[in-house]
Amino acid sequence: MFEIESKVVYGVVGVCEVKDISTPPIKGISGQYYFLQPVYDDKGIIYSPVNSGKVMMRGIITEKEADKLIQAARNCKKDDRLNEKLSPLQYDEAIKSQEPMKLLHLVRCLYNIKNERAKELRKMKSADGRMLQAARKLLYGELAVVLGLDYSEVCSQMDEFLGQN
């Protein structure tokens, strides 16, 4: 169980802060729920049952793990595993897993596809573009929160590393 004020990664929403653990103010709903406030979206609170296994939720990574991910991104040209192609089925698996290394691999794979298509003067497929945006949001958002950096700063740094040919 997570504590109030802890940061979690929730589904495809990304990093959220646990604002409260209580019964939501909605008629007909009972039981304990997490009141989650997305870090990069202040439009509303998400109510998630404490004992629900439907939506993936985990604690955020440590600063040490974040540093390892950035180091892996920095050296991605030399890493055969990160340059391995993924199938579209593996794209969904990586997003749903919320595993930072799988997300890093997915972002690198999609940037490789984008670069290959650019050489042929073609645009990236829209489905691949949407998947790239989703993976970047999850991975970069978590890194920014963990390292206490601005989201746009993390985006430009990681894109520079992962987007290289």
Could you give all domains of the chain from N- to C-terminal order, each with its CATH number? 7-58 (2.40.10), 61-162 (1.20.58.1290)
- Give pTM, 2 decimals: 0.91
Average pLDDT over residues 144-155: 96
pLDDT at 82: 87
User: Which pairing describes strands 46-49 and 57-59: parallel, antiparallel, or unpaired?
Assistant: unpaired
The average confidence (pLDDT) of the chain is 93
Phi and psi for 67 in degrees, rounded to 5? -60, -40
Q: Percent of the chain having pLDDT more than 70? A: 100
Question: At residue 150, does pLDDT exceed 80?
Answer: yes
The CA distance from 12 to 6, in Å, is: 18
pLDDT at 143: 97
Residues 51, 53, 55: CA angle, nearest 5 degrees: 115
- 28-71 tens-digit pLDDT: 988 999 999 999 887 789 999 998 778 889 999 999 999 999 99
Q: Give Cβ neighbours of residue 116 (< 8 Å, ≥ 6 apart).
A: none
Average pLDDT over residues 132-157: 96
Average pLDDT over residues 68-93: 92
Average pLDDT over residues 144-164: 95
DSSP letter at 165 equals -
Cα dihedral angle (68, 72, 73, 78), rounded to 10 degrees? Answer: 170
Task: Tokens 């579209």: give the residue.
Answer: 88
Report residue 105's pLDDT band, with 50, 70 and 90 as the boundaries.
very high
In the numeric block, which tokens belong to residue 129? 């573009």
The CA distance from 145 to 40, in Å, is: 10
